[in-house]
């Protein structure tokens, strides 16, 4: 019985530590994941949202992508159909980043209304599983 009690104490210690690590991990690294519309609502009601990093899931507007290879800067408009923001990203874009692709950008919305992204992910949803062409 004593060994069992000791194991339970040890187990509780492990679980407690993990619980703490998970809670602090979420607190420190958790990031809001918003659509442009939600982001607009958030900053509208609470200006401190300009200072926190957020993830924004949106779609790259067709024809808006502008790449400057020399400075490795990419600008484009990201939209969810209602609200849209111009995005500025410095770095290499993934191969799948192209017109009308779903993107997830992580960064900060600037008070001037541009979204400065530090990471840019492009989904390859329509790639692995091609959507059949609708010929009507």
Partner 1 sequence: MTDLGNIALWIALLIALWASVVGFVAGKTRRPDLMRSAERSIFAVWGLLVIASAGLMHALLTHDFNVEYVAAYTSRNLPVFYTWSAFYAGQKGSLLLWALVVSTFGSAALLVNRRKYPELMPYVAGTIAIIVVFFVATMVFASNPFERLGFTPADGRGLNPQLQNPGMVFHPPMLYLGYTSISVPFAFAVAALISGKLDTGWLHAIRKWTLLSWLFLSCGIVLGMWWAYVELGWGGYWAWDPVENASFLPWLTMTAFLHSVMIQEKRGMLKKWNIGLIVGSFLLSIFGTFITRSGVISSVHSFAQSNVGWFFLVFLILAAVVGFGLLAYRWPMLQAEAKLESMVSREAAFLFNNLILIVIAFSVLWGTLFPIISEAVRGTKVTVGPPFFNQVNVPLGLFLLLLTGIGPLIAWRRASTANLKRQFQWPVAAMLVTAAALGLVRMSDAWSIVAYALGAFVVVTVAQEFVRGTGARHRLHGEAYPLALVRLIGRNRRRYGGYVVHLGIVMLFAAFAGLAFKSDTEVTLRPGQSVDVKSPYGYTYHITHQGISQYEQLNRFVTAASVDVTRAGKYIGTMKSEKRQHLDSFGNPTFEPSTAVAIHSDLREDLYVVFAGAVNGTEEAVYRITINPLVWWVWYGGLVLAIGGLITLWPTAQGPTPVSRRRAEPAGYVAQVGA
Contacts to partner 1 by CB under 8 A: 1, 3-4, 6-7, 10-11, 14-15, 17-18, 21-22, 24-26, 28-34, 38, 55, 57, 67, 69-70, 72, 91-92, 94-98, 104, 121-133, 135
- 27 versus 112: smaller Cβ distance to partner 1: 27
**Alpha-carbon gap, residue 85 to 49, rounded angstroms:** 15
Task: For residues 133 and 131, give the distance between their C-alpha atoms in angstroms, rounded to a whole number.
Answer: 6
Q: How many CA atoms lie within 13 A of 26 on its CB side?
A: 5
The DSSP symbol for 131 reads: P
Measured from the CB of residue 32, what is the shortest distance to partner 1 in angstroms? 6
Residue 21 vs 62, nearer CB to partner 1: 21
Distance of closest approach, residue 39 Cβ to partner 1, in angstroms? 11
Return the closest-CA partner of residue 73 out of 107, 116, 108: 116
Minimal distance, residue 121 CB to partner 1, in Å: 5
């Amino acid at each position: 019985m004593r060994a069992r009690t000791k194991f339970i104490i040890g187990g509780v210690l492990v679980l407690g530590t993990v619980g703490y690590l998970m809670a602090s991990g979420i607190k420190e690294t958790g990031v809001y994941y918003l659509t442009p519309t939600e982001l607009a609502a958030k900053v509208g009601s609470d200006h401190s949202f300009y200072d926190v990093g957020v993830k924004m899931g949106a779609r790259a507007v067709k024809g808006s992508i502008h790449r400057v290879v020399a400075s490795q800067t990419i600008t484009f408009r990201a939209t969810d159909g209602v609200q849209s923001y111009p995005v500025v990203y410095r770095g290499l874009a993934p191969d799948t980043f192209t017109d009308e692709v779903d993107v997830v950008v992580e960064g900060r919305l600037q008070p001037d209304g541009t979204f400065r992204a530090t990471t840019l992910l492009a989904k390859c949803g329509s790639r692995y599983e091609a959507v059949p062409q609708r010929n009507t």
